[in-house]
Amino acid sequence: MKQIGHPVEFELPDCFNKWKDTPYTVIRRSILFTQTEKCGEGIVADEDIKHGEFVIEYVGEVIDDKTCEERLWNMKHRGETNFYLCEINRDMVIDATYKGNKSRYINHSCCPNTEMQKWIIDGETRIGIFAMRDIKKGEHLTYDYQYECLPYSLPPLVFVPLTFVVLVQSNKFSRFVQFGADQDCHCGAAGCRQKLGVKPSKSKMSSDATLKLVACQVAVSSPTLKAVLFGNEAAIETWVTEYCSFYYPSDETVKNDTEIQSWWSEVKNEGHGDLRKEPWWPEMNTLADLTQACTIIIWIASAFHAAINFGQYLYAGYLSNRPTVSRRFMPKPGTKEYDELENNPDLAFLKTITAQFQALLGVSLIKGLSRHATNEIYLGQRDTAEWTTDDEPLAAFERFGKKLVEIGSRITERTNDSKLKNRVGPVKVPYTLLYPNTSDYSREGGLIGKGIPNNVLGPDTVYTESYKSHSWLKIFSYFGIIKRFDKYSKKHLVMFEDGDVEFLDLSKEDWELITL
Ligand SMILES: C[S@@+](CC[C@H](N)C(=O)[O-])C[C@H]1O[C@@H](n2cnc3c(N)ncnc32)[C@H](O)[C@@H]1O
Ligand SMILES: [Fe+2]
């Protein structure tokens, strides 16, 4: 008879029964049990596994939160120290204590070589374990028990044995639960967080993995975005590639460019100092590295920002549609809130309505954030015609502008297409957020709800009263450089020679502009 803690392999919970004979058991990688020094039993790879490959599915009984809590208490009373419960969303836990497969023996590491990915397959949530890097035969397999994984929207090849319908799910988490977050971690990784229950401080996804994920998710629902990002119409990527290859004709020129190298080192070591030792950082050794990094940065600072920022007021500015304090749970019997609901339901209801001041604050904030600057420079535009005199980049930039105008026309066409019911149906919400607005030089600004500005800050914050950022100033007897202008406080951020940084109201200071 099997003992508790040594479940029957491949005994699948009911919801997975129909997958029992599917090829996923065949395609999974070969893995073996092993005894570890400090973490009990563990799993090692029995063959080389490539980055991104599916290793095994995390299976077990699917139980709800209440059962999970009861089981945890029982295990605590029995003095168990090994826990096998993976919470996949608010009321769904996969418990591999009594039924499961080898995946239950995979230990935690703060610097893991596999990760859990959440998939919605034919309406069922399932957890796959995938290699995060190349793994050699004999290596211990580990994943981060506290990793909050984003659900995946597009299937990686190895995990698509059947006609899967994969849906995008909201940003829910999945993580390991166990009793006492203070169990010591013996993973031995350089950046070990010391306790099994401690969450990583930041998302562990690289910016390019995040980008791809977000891009894939949005592209599924937005053919327009797909047009901007992928295929021969990857406008930003094409422009960046043409521009960079003019100034950096070979990989060597990128590798030997001290400015690029020190910029990349700053991005990695200072900008993301906490993640600088992560294995996924791209090197900056080739032209392809450079164009990839620049494409991602430009995409995030321009189109991605536009798509999520400028529609906030239009979509969420009317607080009755998005009341800020209404998100309260139904009170549980026996609580003060429940008594109130029973005795004075009107008052309980009124308490969910956003107060005047809070509503005003919310609307003002959203309105401020959603405004386009009056001197906004859109993607594909330049503030001055003299930005370069080099013919090839000028021609490439023109092609980029034309492509953006074409994309704009397609967005308008789709908005007017009566066959597309979400655009012209009863609600009539034309999609304009990714309309690049490249041909618009009216400098209209305000809550126009369309247009992809060149950068996140906008020219209002970068320039002021013709003093460009990076102008040198002499303030009293100190020298400083303008870093930027904050349009709300009307103050300039000035960095002094000794590295001190201060927001100053220049109308109140004694200063002179230094021309270099
Ligand atoms: C899913 S099980 C992993 C298999 C387990 N080692 C076994 O022998 O059954 C999770 C349990 O393994 C132990 N464990 C896993 N990773 C560990 C780590 N990095 N440090 C200490 N204990 C760990 C903890 O007791 C945890 O509750
Ligand atoms: Fe650790």
Q: Across all residues in the chain, what is the average pLDDT? A: 73
ipTM confidence: 0.98
Q: Ligand 1 pocket check: which of 44, 83, 97, 108 to mutate, most ligand atoms within 8 Å of Cβ? A: 108
**Ligand 1: residue whose CA is nearest its atom 22:** 39
Ligand 1 in reach of 107 Cβ (< 6 A): yes
Q: Does residue 111 sit within a domain?
A: yes
Single out the residue in 145, 175, 196 at which a domain terminates: 196
Q: Each residue of 401-420: pLDDT tens digit?
A: 999 998 888 888 877 887 77
CATH number at residue 392: 1.20.245.10
Q: Which atom of ligand 1 is nearest to the CA of 96?
A: 1
**Does position 204 have pLDDT exceeding 60, yes or no?**
no
User: Of 487, 463, 485, 469, which Cα lies nearest the Cα of 371?
Assistant: 487
| pLDDT number for residue 394 | 95
**Does position 164 have pLDDT exceeding 70, yes or no?**
no
Q: Does residue 57 sit within a domain?
A: yes
User: Of 56, 5, 57, 60, which Cα lies nearest the Cα of 31?
Assistant: 56
* Coil, helix or strand at residue 120: strand
Average pLDDT estimate for 138-155: 67
Ligand 1 in reach of 83 Cβ (< 6 A): yes
**Does position 138 have pLDDT exceeding 70, yes or no?**
yes
Q: Ligand 1 pocket check: which of 82, 179, 195 to mutate, most ligand atoms within 8 Å of Cβ? A: 82
254 and 324 inside one domain? no
Say which residue, 481 or 10, is predicted with more confidence.
481
- What whole-number distance in Å separates Cα of residue 162 and Cα of residue 119? 14
| pLDDT number for residue 166 | 27
| pLDDT number for residue 461 | 38
Q: Which atom of ligand 1 is nearest to the CA of 186?
A: 20
119 and 233 inside one domain? no
Say which residue, 443 or 164, is predicted with more confidence.
443
Confidence of residue 391 (pLDDT cuts 50, 70, 90): very high
Ligand nearest to the CA of 184: 1
Q: Ligand 1 pocket check: which of 32, 39, 147, 193 to mutate, most ligand atoms within 8 Å of Cβ? A: 39
Ligand 1 in reach of 40 Cβ (< 6 A): yes
**Does position 399 have pLDDT exceeding 90, yes or no?**
yes
Ligand nearest to the CA of 36: 1
Cα–Cα distance list, 50 to 43, 379, 456 (Å)? 17, 39, 37
Ligand nearest to the CA of 190: 2
Beta 92-95 vs 8-9: how paired, if at all?
unpaired
Q: Which atom of ligand 1 is nearest to the CA of 142?
A: 16
Enclosing H/E stretch for 406: helix 391-416
Single out the residue in 196, 219, 253 at which a domain terminates: 196
Q: Does residue 424 sit within a domain?
A: no
38 and 139 inside one domain? yes
- What whole-number distance in Å separates Cα of residue 164 and Cα of residue 162? 5
Single out the residue in 350, 383, 415 at which a domain terminates: 415
Number of structural domains in the chain: 4
95 and 13 inside one domain? yes
Centre of ligand 2 from the C-alpha of residue 196, in Å: 7
- What whole-number distance in Å separates Cα of residue 322 and Cα of residue 36? 52
Structural domain containing residue 353: 313-369
pTM to 2 decimal places: 0.46
Q: Does residue 68 sit within a domain?
A: yes
**Does position 455 have pLDDT exceeding 90, yes or no?**
no
Q: Does residue 284 sit within a domain?
A: yes
246 and 130 inside one domain? no
Ligand 1 in reach of 34 Cβ (< 6 A): no
CATH number at residue 465: 2.30.30
